[in-house]
Structure 1
Amino acid sequence: MADIKTLTQKDYDFLIELETLLYERKEEMPKGSYTTSMYKKGLDKIAQKVGEEAVETVIASKNEKNKETINEAADLIFHLMLLLAEKEIPLHKVIKKLRKRHNKGNHKHIGE
C-alpha cells in the first residue's frame, strides 16, 4: 500500500476557503478573474471543462511519474467545485452522499 498521509484540518479548511471563494466570485464577478470568466461562459462550458480535466487526469495517470497526475487531479477538483458552485450544490452535500453510501456498506463510490 502507498504511503498515505492523512488529510489535515488545514487541508479541510482550504477546501472550505476555496468553496467560499468560488461563491464570492460568482456573486461579485471581479474583472480579470479566471473564475469570473468561467461563470460568464455558463454551465455548458464549465461542464465541458470538467470533462476535459477528467480526460487529462486519466491520460496523465498512465504516465510513470505522479506529478502530472497530481496537477491534472487538482485542475479536475477545482473545476468540479466550480461546477457545483455554479449549480449551487454545496460540497458538503456531495460528501454527505459519499458518507451515507459508505455507512450503509454500499460502496458505490468505490469503483463505480
Structure 2
Amino acid sequence: MSRFADILERLAATIESRKGADPESSYTAKLLAGGIDRPAKKFGEEAVEAVIAAAQGDQAALASESADLIYHWLVLLTASGVSLDDVAAKLEAREGVSGLAEKAARGK
C-alpha cells in the first residue's frame, strides 16, 4: 500500500471515530455536528486556497492546502455517509476509460 493510501485510511478511520464525540473537544466532531453545510463550506474554502497556492506556484503552500483539502473532503464524505470504498468503486468503473469518453457518457 502506498504511503498516501495508508495515511488516507488512518485519517478516514480517525474521522469516523469522531462521529458523536463532544464538539467542544474535537474540531472534527464540531464539523460533523454542524450537519452537511459546515463540512461542505470548509471543503470549498480549502479548495479555493489550494487553487490559489497552485496559481502562485507555491509548492509548500499547495502541499499544505492539499492536506487541508483532503482532510475536509474526508469529513464531508463522512458527514454525507459516503465511504472511501464508494469513491473507489466509482474510480474503478472509470478505470481504462478515456476521460473524454467517460465525460461524454455522463452528458457533461
Quickly name the TM-score band, shorter chain normalised. Answer: 0.7 to 0.9
Tell me the secondary structure at the aligned position of residue 95 of structure 2: helix
Kindly provide the CA deviation profile for residues 8-42 of structure 1, in whole angstroms up to 9, marking residues without a partner as x: 2x432221111111111014446421101111222
TM-score (norm. length: structure 2): 0.81
| Stretches of structure 1 lacking an aligned partner (at least 5 in a row) | 1-6
Alpha-carbon RMSD:
2.1
Matches of 1:44 and 1:28 in 2, distance apart?
18
- In the other structure, the counterpart of 1:46 is 39
Kindly provide the CA deviation profile for residues 37-70 of structure 1, in whole angstroms up to 9, marking residues without a partner as x: 1112221111011111111111110122300011
Does the Cα contact within 8 Å between 2:23 and 2:30 map onto a contact in 1?
Answer: no
Give me the identity figure in percent: 34
Matches of 1:28 and 1:22 in 2, distance apart?
10
- Of 14, 17, 25 in structure 2, the residue corresponding to residue 24 of structure 1 is 17
Which deviates further from its counterpart, 76-85 or 35-44? Answer: 35-44
TM-score (norm. length: structure 1): 0.79
- In the other structure, the counterpart of 2:74 is 81
Letter in 1 for 2:64: N
| Stretches of structure 2 lacking an aligned partner (at least 5 in a row) | none
- Of 58, 61, 80 in structure 2, the residue corresponding to residue 65 of structure 1 is 58
The number of equivalent residue pairs is 102
Matches of 2:4 and 2:48 in 1, distance apart?
25
Runs of 4+ in 1 over 3 A off after TM superposition: 27-31
